[in-house]
Structure 1
Amino acid sequence: MEKVEKEKNELWEWIKALLIAFAIAAFIRYFLFTPIVVDGDSMMPTLEDGDRMIVNKIGYKIGNPDRFDIVVFHAPEGKDYIKRVIGVPGDHVEYIDDQLYINGEPIDEPYLNQYKAEITEGNLTGDFTLQDIEPNLDVIPEGYVFVMGDNRRFSKDSRHIGIVSIDEMIGNTNLIFWPISDIKIVK
């Protein structure tokens, strides 16, 4: 009788341990960090199709995106997109002759150097101003960002979907954890 009772207690302890482990894992995934798979080539050469990354979900709960953060957000089509923040609130964004200008100042984008070196015809990024995309805006309003993919010729980004609400942000990401041969922090 005592042995049966001891086995029941041990089984109950295992069940409690498993339930606690699942609850902790669910909390971490829902509130802190979650994995995501890169789908498509819009962030090449920085990110490749199939890369698996960790999304930090708490950063934007206590702060705002910074220029050049790689972010994950809910896009209008019901999908999650991975793009790079180009403009933050208060910025006037424009591209002229493959050069980014923020508030009239030229801004370097070193993450594009590889693609720009490979271009044989035309520019990587076509000319545009913020007003071309959002005619009623001179600057990006509070609570919004302007995002673009690094593969500028083949990216559906703010040039197509408009500025993105910070409320739609899931978080930022810069850690590739799979495939193992590509584990790295990207900028």
Structure 2
Amino acid sequence: MEIAMQNKIVENLKSFAIALVLALIIRTFLVQSFHIPSGSMIPTLLVGDFILVDKITYHLREPDRGDVVVFHFPLNEDVYYIKRIIGVPGDKVQVIDGKVYINGKPCKYEPGGTYSYTEKGSSYKGRLFYEFLPRKEGGEKKHLILKTGGRGDNTQVFVIPKDKYLMMGDNRNNSYDSRYWGFVDRSKIVGIARIIFFSWDGEKHLPRFNRIFKLIN
């Protein structure tokens, strides 16, 4: 009986060790989960969203305009940020009156309605726009952005060096991004955000069931 019990404990420990190694491999090389703590990516991502980040895709292709990515924040690499890629190596990017210009050409915009939200006790209301970012291999990436004011609406021309990327939040007037602290190195990009696997509304203290398993555009 004692030997059988010892064998069972050993087998359980082996199973636990294998599961732990597999979890570490998955987290290191395949996917990683993150929690969204701020509203800088509203309306695409909300505070309380839990997302999965694909770490494989960028071994097969380079990051492109329009991708939503997680990266190590350049001013403190222990902190992860999530933003949308606006400019890739070789691009010249400028924001004029709230519109993005890439290599001298303005991106296309279409009205998308109104939007309001509350974050940390403050209320915000603004207008939604569909923004069309040109992809490197042709075509466009269509996604929503939110405009709530004029902060960051006019910038210098950013000339993006080799292996660097320019990031901006979809909540354009409430995002601390490349307009303020510069570029992100290719090696610091963790991966591309793919899916929301859970979402918690901190204001209502309830799950947002309509966001669970929602793909990230």
Deviations 1:31-72 (A, max 9, x none): 221110111111111111111101112333443211011111
Distance 1:120 1:27 in 2: 40
> Which residue pairs with 1:93 in the alignment?
93
The one-character-per-residue Cα deviations of 1:69-113 (angstroms, maximum 9, x if unpaired) are: 111111113421110000001111112233221112222367x84
The aligned amino acid for 1:84 is R
Instruction: Give the secondary structure class of the aligned counterpart of 1:39.
Output: coil
Cα root mean square deviation, aligned: 2.5
- Decide whether aligned partners of structure 1 residues 177 and 120 sit closer, same or farther in structure 2, where only a CA change above 3 A counts: closer
Q: 1:109 to 1:6 in 2, by over 3 A?
A: farther
List, as ranges, runs of 4+ consecutive aligned residues in structure 1 with deviation greater than 3 Å: 112-125
Distance 1:55 1:81 in 2: 12
Counterpart amino acid of residue 93 in structure 2: V
Matching residue within 172, 175, 178 for 2:195: 175
> Any gaps of 5 or more consecutive residues in structure 1?
132-138
2:112, 2:156 → 1: CA distance?
A: 22
Q: Distance in 2 between matches of 1:61 and 1:117?
A: 33
CA 1:36–1:107: 2 relative to 1, 3 Å: same
SS in 1 for 2:193: strand
One-letter amino acid matched to 1:166: R
Which has more strand, going by share of residues? 2
Q: Normalising to structure 1: TM-score of the pair?
A: 0.83
Please give the TM-score of this superposition, normalised by the length of structure 2.
Answer: 0.72
Distance of aligned partners of 1:125 and 1:32 in 2 relative to their CA distance in 1, 3 Å threshold: same
Give the corresponding residue for 1:12.
10
Q: Which has the larger radius of gyration?
A: 1
Partners of 2:155 and 2:46 in 1: CA distance: 26
Kindly report which structure 2 residues correspond to 1:128-143, keeping only aligned pairs within 5 A, or say none: 128-131=155-158, 139-143=159-163
Which residue does 2:21 correspond to in 1?
23
1:185 is matched with: 215
| Offset of residue 126 of structure 1 | 0.7
Decide which structure has greater helix share. 1
Question: What's the counterpart of residue 41 of structure 2?
Answer: 43
What's the offset of the Cα at 1:129?
A: 3.1
